Structure 1
Amino acid sequence: MKISVIITIYNEEKHIEKCLSSLKEQSFKNFEVIVIDDGSTDKTREVLAEFKTKDNNSLKLKILKKDHQGPAKARNLAVTKSKGDILVFLDGDMFFDKDFLKQLISPIEKGKAKGTFSTEEYVANWNNCWARAWNYNWNLPDKRRINPQNINQAKDFRAILKKEFDKVGGFEDIGYTDTWTLSEKLKYKPQATKAKYYHFNPSSLKEIFNQSKWVAKRKYKLGGLGKGIALLRANPIFSLISGLKTALIKKEPGFLVFKLVYDFGLSLGLLEKKKHA
């Protein structure tokens, strides 16, 4: 089966080269890579062009560019340019163990699953205090981006048969939780694998602020009421109390600052009308 690896990026000048370099080292070799730049404003495009020149097409790399409209539309567009029977969706701030692709797609190739994800997603920058704070805020285990005890709740497909993707028309453009929409429309969840990879958490207050604005732009179960509750929880008094409590429990003084910045960004994201951060 042919494999298409699709990487949607927005302002990933710091990480995209490491991401692509780790794909070059995969034990599984028969795949194409489609990187779609969703309107980056940093030097991402220059980094990509330089990598492609040095790579000399050994990675079968295709680069697409579009205006900034969010990852759902970018992924859907990239799929229309793909040739694979299996689609693999990755982010530009990830890098991968050499057997990652092999383990991720194995259940699909063997006919045991229509789609997969991995429980073995680790924080790439755990030595950074803001990266650790991100995990604490989401109640995640140390150094992990996914709680292995919650695998039955996983909705994100890392790999899926293209015919299944096409059956439901791809991702819905609903904001932060757009990756859940495949599972919701297909009425089944991806199968867990042990494919190991690393993902960078936000590592500066600026990145935390920007990412929290994006987190706010999602579909809420209770609609407007749900947004109102989220906005109430993000008010400065709650942020101060929650931030101080977690900072003391985790012995991470910087968490208080993190929480104030995160919740401020969340509040602005909730109040903004535009879909994309």
Structure 2
Amino acid sequence: MVESVPFSVIIPARMASSRLPDKPLADILGLPMVVRVAQRAAQSAARQVVVATDDDRVLQACQQQGVRALMTRKDHPSGSDRLAEAAELMGLEDAELVVNVQGDEPLIDPLLINAVAAQLNRVPEASMSTAAHPVGSMEDYLNPNVVKVVLNARSLALYFSRAPIAWWRDGHVGHGFRSLPSPVPLRHIGLYAYRAGFLRLFPRLPPAPLETLESLEQLRALWHGYTIAVHTTVRAPGPGVDTPEDLERVRQLLAMPGA
């Protein structure tokens, strides 16, 4: 059982998606997607759930459904900058915990949100936390779009990569592997918790060369010497929404009895 700790959820939602225009407002069984995400996050132990947006349409859609939303600047270069501004607008103290739930995750598990917050709370030297689950197939292990993470004995992140890590030297035969390595590689889940003070600092840190190389923003924290605690779950998360096909799949899943 995951212990209960006080935390807030912030959901960044901007309208500039190229693969799925107006993504936050995409209809999912009669509600905008961002509202579905907020409702799901509200099933966690969060003391408050807030959408941080840059568009009046998202703000109004949230308000119509009783979801708290804040307007943030349109010129933020990343979601982390938007989160930092939202934390300022909310008046969060440096030690308070914030969980960043992406606005395109309408199937996010509320218990996973709780677990990521609890993981950060358990590791006082960590500035942020995230989640991972065992890789289930060779295809995912080798797929550069599936981000992997390796941990130390205390479940702190050593490195994140699009490459197949940890590399099984003796298992590589010819042009492939006999099987997945042991211990099983971990797939990174893009769910983060931060201490609010670090969240305000993070966007001001210079981008790291490894971050640019791998196109993974979390490497900036490791590059500058900050610690990331990782919660490992046995369950893969529900699918997110990046494309019209993803959207239709999520609609079908939520339409199923008991969803």
TM norm structure 1: 0.51
Once residues 25 and 142 of structure 2 are traced to their aligned partners in structure 1, the CA distance between those partners, rounded to angstroms, is 26
The alignment covers a number of residue pairs equal to 178
8 A Cα contact 2:147 2:160, kept in partner: no
Alpha carbons of structure 1 residues 93 and 65: separation in structure 2 relative to 1, 3 Å:
same
Conserved 8 A contact 2:9-2:41: no
For residues 147 and 33 of structure 1, the distance between their equivalents in structure 2, rounded to whole angstroms, comes to 29
Counterparts in 2 of 1:1-277, with a 5 A limit? 2-11=6-15, 12-14=24-26, 15-26=33-44, 28-30=45-47, 32-38=48-54, 40=55, 45-55=56-66, 61-71=68-78, 72-82=80-90, 83=92, 85-95=96-106, 96-111=108-123, 114=126, 115-120=128-133, 138-139=143-144, 145-147=146-148, 152-154=158-160, 158-166=192-200, 169-172=201-204, 177-194=216-233, 197-200=237-240, 202-203=242-243
Paired with 1:136 and 1:193, the residues of 2 have a C-alpha distance of 17
Q: Distance in 2 between matches of 1:69 and 1:177?
A: 17
The Cα of 1:146 is off from its aligned counterpart by 4.3
Answer whether contact 1:94 1:199 (CA < 8 A) is retained. Answer: yes
Gaps of at least 5 residues in structure 1 are: 123-132, 206-277
Task: State the AA in 2 paired with 1:117.
Answer: T
Give the gaps of 5 or more residues in structure 2: 16-23, 27-32, 152-156, 162-189, 246-259
Residue pair 1:157, 1:190 contacting (<8 A) in 2 also: no
> Partners in 2 of 1:182 and 1:70 — Cα distance?
17
CA change 1:89–1:184 in 2 (3 A) is farther
Q: Deviation per CA, 1:107-153, whole angstroms, max 9, x where unpaired?
A: 2333466231111499xxxxxxxxxx9x799445xxxx544778642
- Asked if 2 retains the 8 angstrom alpha-carbon contact of 1:121 and 1:199, the reply is no
Separation (CA, whole Å) in 2 of partners of 1:157 and 1:97: 11
Q: Greater strand percent: which structure?
A: 2
- Letter of the 1:9 counterpart: A
If each structure's helix is expressed as a fraction of its own residues, which one has the higher value? Answer: 1
Matched to 1:25, the amino acid is: Q
Higher relative contact order (CA 8 A, sep 6+): 2
Give the structure 2 partner of residue 274 of structure 1.
Answer: none
